[in-house]
Amino acid sequence: MTRFIGVARAASAVLISMLLAACGGESTDTTTESPTGLQITGAGATFPEPLYQEWLRRYNTEQSAARFSYEGVGSGEGVERFIAETVDFGASDSAMTDEQIAQVDRGATLIPVTAGMVVLAYNLPGIDGELRLPRDVYVDIFKGKIWKWDDPRIVAANPHLEIPSKLIQTVVRRDSSGTTFVFTNHLGTIKPAWRNEGPGVGTLLDWPGGAMTGTGNEGVAHKIKISHGSIGYVEYFFAKRLGLPMATLQNQAGNFVQPDAASGRRTLEAAATADMPEDLRLFVPDPEAPDAYPIVSLSWLLLYGEYPESEKATALKAALTWALNDGQPVAEALGYIPLPPNIVAAATRALETIR
């Protein structure tokens, strides 16, 4: 099992490098020793991993005070390592719960640094055109109630398509994942029975219907890429860079919205007009705006309230200040959603409390 995990992580690193190369970034070793000897390590969510690796590549070449590295192991594992204090910072797309925060002796501060979309990518040969999925339909696909692509409800929503009579194979995460939390929180919001009667909301679920599983966003994306008839939930970056078609989803207003940079930005900007919660845990499980893409989430870095080594606190604050400002155009170029000014301001204020 240990060997399998090592191979999987190595394959993940290769894929991330390929994806970054495809969008114009060069992958470099971000773990090079700092001239000052100050090494800062982090681990967590795979949802923003391509962005974090590109940020670190750029930031490590701009300064020599510290060297930063990041390992995409999933939000659940990232939170566990953060609580165990085996990393200098964690990362999660599901934030942290009050119970988890209470386990951190040095205190925990959650800093939103980027946002992205969860999309339903699919592999259905012969489909040439926009595939529309109503809200109740994609809930029932992942609940195992709709198991053929030519189900009458899918056909009725897509009269412009010749949909084949093919079995639907869902692809989900096998590891504890913030992306899973974002997706299931959305499903549980639009259909309370999903939350109350099962499968439920969380970072790791027992999925119905014999779903295929993959590790990390890249693992799910790869399974979709090679599996005819499949559909799965992944972060937008992974689907776009692998050339996977993405379903157009129906939002709360009843409109069908395609996942793209513009629709994701509209969703986040509309949600951000409200006051940010004091703890910065802003969730958008079912946005109300008529042109909003329905599945958008912030992604947080997890910092300790106090660092025994003041140099680490100083270096982390400097790096995150860079990410919240100079790093946002990089996020947009990679398909993530740049943070609105009021979220940047709230994150900056929270960052100033780190000691």
Q: Give the pLDDT score at 276.
A: 82
CA distance readout (Å), 166 to 124, 154, 229: 9, 12, 6
Q: 9 and 43 in contact (C-beta within 8 Å)? A: no
List average pLDDT for each run of 10 residues in the chain, which is 355 residues long.
Answer: 38 43 41 69 96 96 92 97 98 96 97 97 94 98 97 98 96 96 98 96 93 96 98 96 96 96 87 82 92 95 97 96 97 93 94 96
Strands (E), 196-275: 212-214, 230-235, 248-250, 256-257
Q: Give the pLDDT score at 175.
A: 95
Q: Give the pLDDT score at 35.
A: 55
Q: Give the pLDDT score at 8.
A: 41
CA 232 – CA 227 distance, rounded (Å)? 11
What is the greatest pairwise CA distance in the chain?
A: 64
10-41 pLDDT, tens digit per residue, is: 444 444 444 444 444 433 444 455 456 899 99
Q: 45 and 114 in contact (C-beta within 8 Å)? A: no
CA 199 – CA 158 distance, rounded (Å)? 27
The CA-to-CA distance between both ends of the chain, in Å, stands at: 39
Numbers of helices and strands, H then E, in the chain = 14, 11
Q: Is 255 exposed, middle or buried (0-12, 13-18, 19+ CB in 10 A)?
A: middle
Q: Give the pLDDT score at 93.
A: 94
Nearest to 297 by CA among 328, 326, 336, 323: 336
Checking phi first, is residue 230 left (phi over 0); if not, alpha (psi -120 to 50) or beta?
beta
Q: Give the pLDDT score at 270.
A: 84
Q: Give the pLDDT score at 102.
A: 97
Domains of the chain (ranges; CATH) run: 11-116+296-351 (3.40.190.10), 118-269 (3.40.190.10)
